[in-house]
Amino acid sequence: MPNLKDLKTRINSVTSTQKITSAMKMVAAAKLRRAQEAAESGRPYATRMQAVIASLAANADKSSASELLVGRAAVKTHLLVIISADKGLCGGFNGSVARLAKHEMNRLETEGKSVQIYFVGRKAADALGSAISDRTFARVEGVQGTNLGFESASEIASKIITGFEEGQFDAVSVIFNRFVNAITQEVTHTSLIPVHIDAPEDEGSESAIFYDYEPEEAEILSALLPRNMSTQIFSALLESSAAELAARMTAMDNATRNAGDMIDRLTLVYNRTRQANITKELIEIISGAEAL
C-alpha cells in the first residue's frame, strides 16, 4: 500500500496537470471561433474558383490544355502535400493524417510510381519517421496559427509549380484535416495536379450557367491555374488550422475530465490509507494500555 506522502505528491502532480490541460482547452476554445469563421468564409472562394476552372476546362482543347489542368499522360512521380500541425496534444489529429499519407504512399508505390512528400507542419514528418528520409521534397513549419496568411499558401504553390515545370514530379495531391465541427475532423485527400473538377451539374438545373469568356479560355486558364492552386492550398490550411484547434480543445477537455476522475480516485485511496493508519495507531495505543 502506498504511503500518504506518495499519494499526496501524486494528487498534487495530477492537480497541476489538470490546471494546465484546462488552460490549454480554454486557449484553444478562444482561438477556435476565429479559425472556424476563417475556414467557413474561405470555402465559398475555393468552391467558386473550382467552378470557374471547371467551366473553362469544359471548353478547353484537351490536347493543348495546360498540364496544370489535365496533368501528364505518364505519371512516374507523385508529390503528396501533407498538412499537419506543428504541435501535439491534439488527439488523433496528426495520426490520422500520417496514416492516410502512409496508405497513399504504399498504394502509389504498388502502382509502380515513386513518391515525394512536401510537409507543411512538423508532426506528420515526425510520425512517419525514417520512412520518408529520402522522399522529402520540401518541409515548411510555422505557417499555421497566427502566421497563417495567403502569402504562405502562395509560396507553397509557387514551389510546387516550379518543381512540376522542372519535371521533378508529374502529379500533386494534398492530404489535410477538414473542419466539420468542434468534435469532428474529416481527413481529406484531393488532387491539385491535375485539377480536381467535380461532375458538371445537370443542364436543366437553375444553377447550371454558361459563360462567354474574353480573352480565350486558354489565356484565362494560364493566369487562373496558379491562382487556383494557391487558393486551394490556402483553403486547406484554413481548414487544417480550425480542425487542429477543435481537436486540441476536445483532447484537453477529455484530459481535464480524466485528471479529475484520477484525483477523485487518488483522494479516496488517500483517505482510506489515512484512516487505516489512524485505526492501526489506535489499536497499538489500546493494546499498549491493556498490557500495562
Catalytic-residue membership of 96: no
**Per-residue tens of pLDDT for the chain, all 292 residues:** 568 888 899 999 999 999 999 999 999 999 898 888 888 888 888 888 888 777 776 666 666 677 787 777 788 899 999 999 888 888 888 889 989 998 998 898 888 889 999 999 888 888 887 767 788 888 888 877 766 788 888 999 999 999 888 888 888 999 999 998 888 889 999 888 887 766 555 544 444 556 666 766 667 777 888 888 888 999 999 999 999 999 999 999 999 999 999 999 999 998 988 888 888 888 878 887 777 6
Q: For position 24, what pLDDT does the model report?
A: 92
From the CB of residue 8, how many other CB atoms can be counted at a distance below 10 Å?
Answer: 15
Q: For position 51, what pLDDT does the model report?
A: 80
From 79, 157, 162, select the one nearest 116 (Cα to Cα): 79
Q: Are the beta carbons of 177 and 187 closer than 8 angstroms? A: yes
From the CB of residue 128, how many other CB atoms can be counted at a distance below 10 Å?
Answer: 22
Q: Are the beta carbons of 125 and 133 closer than 8 angstroms? A: no
Q: For position 1, what pLDDT does the model report?
A: 58
C-alpha 99/C-alpha 27 separation (Å) is 28
14, 24, 49, 90: which is the annotated catalytic residue?
Answer: 90
User: What are φ and ψ of residue 122, in 5° steps?
Assistant: -95, -35
Residue written as grid cell 482510506: 272
H helix or E strand, kind and range, residue 185: strand 184-193
- CATH for 53-248, options being 3.40.50.620, 3.40.50.300, 3.40.1380.10, 3.30.950.10: 3.40.1380.10
Look up residue 224 and give its DSSP letter: H
From 102, 95, 103, select the one nearest 121 (Cα to Cα): 95
Per-domain boundaries in the chain = 53-248
